[in-house]
Amino acid sequence: MEYNFTTIEKKWQKFWKDNNSFKTISKPTDKKYYVLEMFPYPSGKMHMGHVSNYTIADSIARYYRLLGYDILHPMGWDAFGMPAENAAIEHKTHPAEWTLKNIANMKEQLNLLGYSYDWDREVTTCLPDYYKWGQWFILKMYEKGLLYRKGGDVNWCDHCNTVLANEQVTPEGTCWRCDGEVTKKKLEQWYIKVTDYADQLDADLKLLEGYWPDNVIAMQKNWIGRSVGAYVNFTLDDGKDFPIFTTRPDTIYGVTYMAIAWNYDGLLDMCTDEQKSAVEEFIKKSAKIDQKTDYEKEGVFTGRYVINPFNKEKAPLYAANFVLAEYGSGAVMAVPAHDQRDFEFAKKYNIPVKVVIQNADNSLKAENMTEAYTDDGVVVNSDILNGLSTREAIKKAISYASEKGFGSEKVQYKLRDWLISRQRYWGNPLPFVHCEKCGIVPVPESELPITLPMDIEFTVGDNPLKKSESFVNTTCPKCGGKAKRETDTMDTFTCSSWYYARYTDAHNDKMPFDSNIANAWLGVDQYIGGIEHACMHLLYSRFWYKFMRDIGLIKGDEPFNKLLTQGMVLANSYESRELKKFYTQEEMNNKAYEKDGIKKEDIIVKMEKMSKSKANGVDPAEIIELFGADAVRIFVMFVAPPEKDKEWSDEGVKGSARFLNRIWNLFLKYKDEEAFKNNKSFDYNNLSKEGQKLFRKYNKTIKKVTIDIKDRFHFNTAIAALMELLNDMSVMKLANNDDYAMFKEVIRGYLILLNPIAPHITEELYQILNFGKMILEESWVEHNEEYCKDDTFELVFQVNGKIRDRVEADVNISEDDAKTQALASEKVKAFTEGKNIIKVVYVKGKLVNIVVK
């Protein structure tokens, strides 16, 4: 019987769908497992990154189902966002039509892989039944004082024609989505006050240690940026207060200049008339480079001086492009001797350097310094702090400032409030109106959802919602007068920050979800997604979960109990640097570069992340058609551990297909043999020696596969163990009926062990071989520790430390017998005859070493 993967996979996919095989019970027992992968944006075409991520999750879900857990494994669509709007402009269609068509396409592609989703719980963020509750949450935040609107400088992408949150600007100062240049623009915007939760978000990272990757925790900790220091109130030379925050009050006597953010509100009013034009030019220049990390640190003198309250000394005030207006007070004290950035700036603008922390050998002199001294030391040139250690001086400086009334201890965060306004159509409408009489007025909950109008013209430029009179013109809910509806829509991260909770009760039309049901399923036991979401989606989701807790919807503190960040899928890219052109693998095979006048040796080959721009992507549908879904699943799980990058290889997929063919052919070989049809049990003691060895190997394989999957999700080593077992099964010669019965049991267990990774072929073979019910209804196999112990081991014979022979020995072999066998070995005799045997050493369970001279 031929292994026809196409027929088999379609058969089982239809069966699972027709029988609703993966339907989730409404409320789980105590034994529940919620596995979730980050839901995709419906681009319309699945890529290998999706396949890798979703196969990991599906294998975990199927494994825990076999363990008897109630499983929640849903899928949905992060469906709002700029790509759909841009596509609408390009293809002259509507984003809704484009998005829903893409969802249908991607759903069909996902089903080709046989994933065990409960599609009854599907959520689509662009549909009113979902985004209504996003609006509901926003109103609740407004009620609690967590949502506000203010004007100010925002990050602006001209290409996307919208505002970006800080987290959405790359370190290179470009847009995270289109890679276009980001500039600053003054706009009235809506913000969520996530800073009210900064302390909790920071402290609760402790709860995730050991369950989340260390690097993700470190990235969030750095982004939140908790620092303990002091607020010190300096004074401008006109007598006005000038507060700053510092984490190094021990160095306060070393201040030689002050720096203020280039976009500090009221900066120009602070400058002297003589310096105002220079500062204005500097502001314009800084607006273009503010978000980049590799720009040159620059500044301009404001003409003003600031007085240090500790020593009454004056320090010049510079506007600088390295100071953040949003952090602390928007100004910093600069101590060039003990901060490298301050040092470089001081050298550039010929500002004095003053040493106030001395090193161990007392050798620091300002005039000889080539870099800042940033280590701890003893305080000098600092009046009341002299002679103190760095730590002692910090405490005393804060105490002194508090006592004198010009400072105090302060905890500060780098985390900024979440800017959620977007000047786009395809997003969740903000539920507010603007009334000339009443100001900003929230829409009553009874009027939710505020739906997007369909009569929209899409053109490159301003927000299309502004042009929809039917949408904009409304009445004020408070006074009944004329009002204008808010035309900004929400950041798509507001949709993805709570979807995991909606999955628990996906069709509730009275509430976002029933609290009793949600509390039974949450938190998510295993969350899977890319590390690129560490400081956006994952942080926002943690905040949203805590907010839902605080309004009584859910219990607990964190949404995701465990996090796995999967590696990327890599493939060879082929680039002609001369033509600035990438070739596909097929074009390389066909030597397409020769038609362009390029030599093969001039093509740069690099293993990198699959992407359309690098022409190194692989279409999963094409690979499935060639080799089958199970082969693709096997490959992406076998090529590397889930958290590591995976190098794509056509040969690797072919190897996975060969592995499945071997299983098919070997297991069906015994189908019609009478001894195999028997359902008799076997006695281990009646097994042949080969049979006992295989049965021990089988039990050790169960143990290893279970540990590899349950404890580490190392499916790659689990598959390797199953490949080893298959090799042993392939050479096994069945000697008696007990051997046949044992072999049948090994096949049954083998199919269950492989099922989470390759569900189609295993389920088909399980039925052909008449093992009774479906694997889907079976339990995970368990090993017997007794049979994990070997009866024999490999005993090595050495002569003068060099291996000369190996034999299989009984585990209970005595020292005398081991030595006797070694001396009797013909291979050993070849190196001992005619020589004096000085001594014979036995290392139990390992080797015999004969020392000769």
Q: What residues are designated binding site?
A: 612
Dihedral class, residue 251 (left if φ above 0, else alpha if ψ from -120 to 50, else beta): alpha
Cβ atoms 541, 49 nearer than 8 A: no
Of residues 640, 570, 582, 580, the one with CA closest to residue 608: 570
Pairing of the two strands 603-609 and 581-583 = unpaired
Instruction: Give the annotated binding-site residues for ATP.
Output: 612
| Torsion sign across C-alpha atoms 428, 134, 78, 454 | negative
Give the E-state strand segments of 538-643 in sequence order: 563-565, 569-576, 581-583, 603-609
What's the Cα-to-Cα distance from 614 to each of 40, 172, 570, 622, 770, rounded to whole Å?
A: 21, 20, 11, 19, 49
- Per the listing, tokens 């960040």 go with 565
CA distances (Å), 845 to each of 714, 741, 744, 839, in order?
30, 32, 32, 19
In whole angstroms, give the CA distance from residue 690 to residue 524. 46
Check: CB of residue 208 under 8 Å from CB of residue 563.
yes
CB 696 within 8 A of CB 687: no
DSSP state of 307: E
Q: Give the list of residues 6+ apart from residue 715 with CB closer than 8 angstroms, or none.
A: 56, 59, 637, 638, 641, 642, 708, 709, 757
For residue 94, the number of C-alpha atoms closer than 13 Å in the C-beta half-sphere is 9
Instruction: Compute φ and ψ for 733, nearest 5 degrees.
Output: -105, 115
Three-state DSSP class for 626? Answer: helix
DSSP 602: G
Using alpha carbons, select from 238, 258, 235, 371 the residue that is nearest to residue 320: 258
The residues facing 851 across adjacent strands are 839
Rounded to 5°, angle at Cα 134 from 128 and 136 = 100
- Residue type at position 56: I
Spell out a b/e string for 200-211, using b for 16 or more CB atoms within 10 Å of the CB, else e.
ebbeebeebeee
Task: Report the distance separating Cα 628 and Cα 500, nearest Å.
Answer: 31
Torsion of Cα atoms, 193 then 196 then 199 then 205, to 10°: -40
Exposed e or buried b for every residue in 132-151, given b needs 16+ CB within 10 A? bbbbbbbbbbbeeebbebee
Residue 410: helix, strand or coil by DSSP? strand
C-alpha closest to that of 579 among 591, 596, 595: 596
How far apart (Å, rounded) are the C-alpha atoms in residues 359 and 364? 7
Rounded to 5 degrees, what angle do the CA atoms 706, 708, 713 make? 110
For residue 154, count CB atoms less than 10 angstroms from its CB and return exposed for 0-12, middle for 13-18, buried for 19 or more: buried
Q: Specify whether the CB–CB gap between 542 and 558 falls below 8 A.
A: yes
Integer Cα distance of 263 and 330 in angstroms: 9
Torsional sign, CA 815, 818, 822, 825: positive
Instruction: State whether the Cα torsion 633-639-643-647 is positive or negative.
Output: negative
467 phi and psi, to 5 degrees? -90, -5
